[in-house]
Structure 1
Amino acid sequence: MPKTSSSVTIAPDTTWLGHGRHLGPSPEQDVRRNLIALKAAGVIDDFLDLDPSAAMAGGPGGLPPALDTADGATAPDSAARRLFEARWRVAGDITVRAQLTTYDVPGRQRDGQAVAWTLAAEAEGSWDQRWPSPATMFWPDDDRIAWDHDAVPGPRLRTTTPLPADDKEMRHLLKDCARTSWNIHVVVHEAMTPDARGRLPLTPFLPPSLRHRVVEHRAAPEQFHIVNYAVKDLRVRVPRGGAAILPTASASPEFDAERFAVRSVFLNGSEPTELVEKITAFAGLPRTLTADAEQALDGLRRRWHLLTLEEELAYTRQLVTKYAEALDAMTASRDLYREAAELAQAALAEATGSDSLPLPRPAAPRKPENSARSALTKALGRFKDASRQQPQK
């Protein structure tokens, strides 16, 4: 998995970032099928399926090397399984580029075949929550495929998640969600046990880009005091029969617990308008990039392979320019070395009174200027040593 460290970087407003776990047996196959279907339908412009290590070296099929990998970029994590890239357009002509990476996690065989994933998408303009969710560009929007589990074991997107009955387990779960998850976590207290309509998730009422970033926790009627004790350290209070948004690791410094709490939520299948507005407003705040999210965004920007024809042309021109500069540097190195060798030969000839000394054969020095001066200094030094050893007449 990506490494973690403290970070204070603010996420650009052009980005969409998500992560989770796939509990099925063939996550990469699920992604491939979805990408192929969406490209055939014209939903996405193009996609690539890459091996992470091969992608850094240029990839299969004659792909160009990843852009700017030598400029401080980190290599893919050793646990990375597969890298997928996709490109599509929104609002007519705004291009979105996205990367999804799957990772092996420790104890995967014991953890329901869990495979972790991260997804970073960036648009050419500010992100609009009404745009399609990048998650459904890679993952099938099908409840039967379990790709939508939160990075913290237990909660799942696109549905409601009952809080654990055990007090300690509930506390640990909510603290883990607040500490490590990139998703938006909402705790809803059920004032009374809801019927089938009241158990439906709020996901369908959210803007498309938020439907795969929100986890809805449900506290049973008798868990009112317990849940508030569990979130006390987060400085959040869940109103009786209401809801509250938790401050997660990526929450904005501007987070105000009272502003993002709703006094009452009617669990009767109707649209919870106020709660949806609060969630949308929370998603619109500046977000702090966690170390994992920053690495995912850095990978998207620095290690991008799915180039358009115009980008390939620009990249080829960039390579030609670099090769020309390298050739000029090699030519200058050769000329400097030859000049230094000629100076050394002339000095030796003058000192020994002979003009028949062979011209040293030029070689390709690593540092042209320093090597040329070094060659001259060494030649003159050898001449001085030889002069001192000659018998005086």
Structure 2
Amino acid sequence: MAKNSTSTTTVPDTAWLGRGRHLGPEPEQDVRRNLIALKAAGVLDDFLELDPVEAARSTVLHPRDESADPGPSARRLFEARWQVADDVTVRAQLTTYDPESRRKDGDGVIWVLAAEAELPWDLEWPSPATMFWPDSERVPWDHDTVRGVRLRTTNHLPKDDDELRHRLRDCTRQSWSLHVVVHEAMTPDAAGQQPVSTFLPPGLRHRVVEHRGTPEQAQIADFAMKRELGVRMPRGGGVVLPVSPQGPEYDAERFTVRSVFLDGSEPTELLDRIMEFAALPRPLPADAERALTRLRQGWHLLTPDEELVHAQGMVTKYAEALDAMTKSCDLYREAAEAAQAALAEATGGDGTVRPAAPGHVKADGSPLSGFTKAFGRFRNPNK
């Protein structure tokens, strides 16, 4: 996959984008089983599995668009369609990729998910991630592309200062997720260890990564975050980290919560700040833009009505192409007949070119002028 970079566009309010790593042995089999189960339960309207090469060749809507090609490292491409809010259609594509390098153990398989609804995304709608991946702790699909970071759980910050700064830098520059850091004023009990993401609405639950600082990490975490990101880590509080590059809408003070009680109760203030941050305009990474373009222009799972419209469009295109070919053949036939007439005129009908008497030939009266006019029709078929 291409290295992640950021474009000047922002994520559309109709889109849901996610990226991560599956560390298990059979990621595609996990997706396949979940899709089959959800379709049988009536959750999905339909789904489709494609080989990436064949998917690029058989793109329905834009067969010549290069953005429909998932790339050489793609393994499988899955499409799914479902309804939310009774009559709002959601279309989604999940593509699995081999990692860029196999040198490190545990790299797993990278996945990219792009979903788009017919209306602006409602956070109460189901998470597209659980339409493809089983919502089970036993299936390790929820690892971020940043090593050592995982969704659906708490991630303790590294103890080493350099490693901590690298973690913060990678999360804000490379990850597609929203990152939150919570400092534990004291070591929480089992209820307090519950991730904050469990209290979030379904549409945001799998887009947030929670980092935890232990009680003794207050100063080192505060120093690293101030140096790398320009934000402070309040003791016993939490902060929503900015993205890179940081937009003008982000206010570090606004997205800092001074106190977060880790006793199993709902951290209302922190949740409000997370959802407020999620609603801000968000830069669209280049990889995410390609995934969204591929979803829009490389879609295969058509409804019967869409198939009818597509077939009618193809009939119109074929009719136009046939008409253009017929006109072209007529033009070539006329040019050939004109060339034969010019040849007959120049040779007198016996195949021998007779030169004109000296001093009596005008520039336009050359025996070859007929050929020039005739074959000029090939160069300018509009004449």
Q: TM-score, normalized by length of structure 2?
A: 0.89
Instruction: Name the CA shift for 1:5/1:279 in 2 (closer, same or farther; >3 Å).
Output: closer
Deviations 1:178-219 (A, max 9, x none): 110010000001111111111111122101011101100000
Q: Is the 8 A contact 2:68 2:298 kept in 1?
A: no
Aligned to 1:311, the other structure's residue is in SS state: helix
Is 1:47 equivalent to 2:47 in the alignment? Answer: yes
Residue in 1 that maps onto 2:14: 14
Distance 1:380 1:185 in 2: 69
**Counterpart of 1:173?**
167
Which SS does the other structure have where 2:140 is aligned?
coil
- Which residue is 1:28 aligned to? 28
Q: Please state how far the C-alpha of 1:66 moved relative to its aligned partner.
A: 3.1
Q: How is 1:174-189 mapped onto 2 (pairs within 5 angstroms)?
A: 174-189=168-183
Map 1:226-375 onto structure 2 (within 5 A). Answer: 226-232=220-226, 233-249=228-244, 252-354=247-349
Q: 2:217 aligns with which of 209, 219, 223?
A: 223
Q: Which residue of 1 aligns with 2:130?
A: 136
Aligned to 1:363: none
Q: Which residue of 2 aligns with 1:121?
A: 115
Give the match's secondary structure for 1:18.
strand
Q: Distance in 2 between matches of 1:25 and 1:134?
A: 22
1: CA distance, partners of 2:41 / 2:245: 35
Partner amino acid, structure 2, of 1:112: G
1:219-273 Cα distance to aligned partner (Å, 9 max, x none): 0111111112212221111211110111124865422211111111000000000
Counting aligned pairs with the same residue, the percent is 66
**Deviates further, 222-231 or 298-307:** 222-231
Deviation sequence 1:84-135 (CA, Å, 0-9, x none): 0000000010000000011111444743251110100000000000100000
Taking the TM superposition and a 5 Å limit, the aligned residue runs for 1:192-231 are 192-231=186-225
List structure 1 segments (4+ residues) > 6 angstroms apart after TM superposition.
378-381
Query: Does structure 1 retain, via aligned residues, the 8 Å contact 2:56–2:68?
Result: no
Quote the Cα distance in structure 1 between the aligned partners of 2:252 and 2:63.
Answer: 41
Offset at 1:298? 1.0
Amino acid at match of 1:227: A
Question: Is the contact between residue 182 and residue 250 of structure 1 (CA under 8 Å) also seen in structure 2?
Answer: no
**TM-score, with normalisation over the residues of structure 1?**
0.87
Q: Check conservation: 1:340, 1:376, Cα contact below 8 A.
A: no
**Are the aligned partners of 2:6 and 2:283 in contact in 1 as well (CA < 8 Å)?**
no
Name the CA shift for 1:13/1:231 in 2 (closer, same or farther; >3 Å). same
**How far did residue 154 of structure 1 move?**
0.6
Give me the whole-angstrom Cα distance separating, in 1, the residues matched to 2:142 and 2:296.
25
Q: What letter corresponds to residue 98 of structure 1 in structure 2? A: A
Residue 71 and residue 339 in structure 1: after superposition, are their counterparts in 2 closer, same or farther (change >3 A)? same
- Rate the CA distance shift 1:315–1:277 in 2: closer, same or farther, 3 A: same
Q: Is the 8 A contact 2:18 2:177 kept in 1?
A: yes
1:161 to 145, 155, 165: 155
Q: Distance in 2 between matches of 1:31 and 1:160?
A: 24
Where 1:231 maps in the other structure, the secondary structure is: helix
2:101 maps to 1:94: no
Where do 5+ consecutive residues of structure 2 fail to align? 353-369, 377-383
Kindly state the Cα deviation for residue 69 of structure 1 after the two structures are TM-superposed: 3.5
Partner SS for 1:289: strand
1:71 Cα deviation after fit: 3.8
* 2:97 pairs with 1:103: yes
Please tell me whether the aligned partners of residues 56 and 66 of structure 1 are also in contact (alpha carbons under 8 angstroms).
no
Query: CA shift at 1:75, angstroms?
Result: 2.2
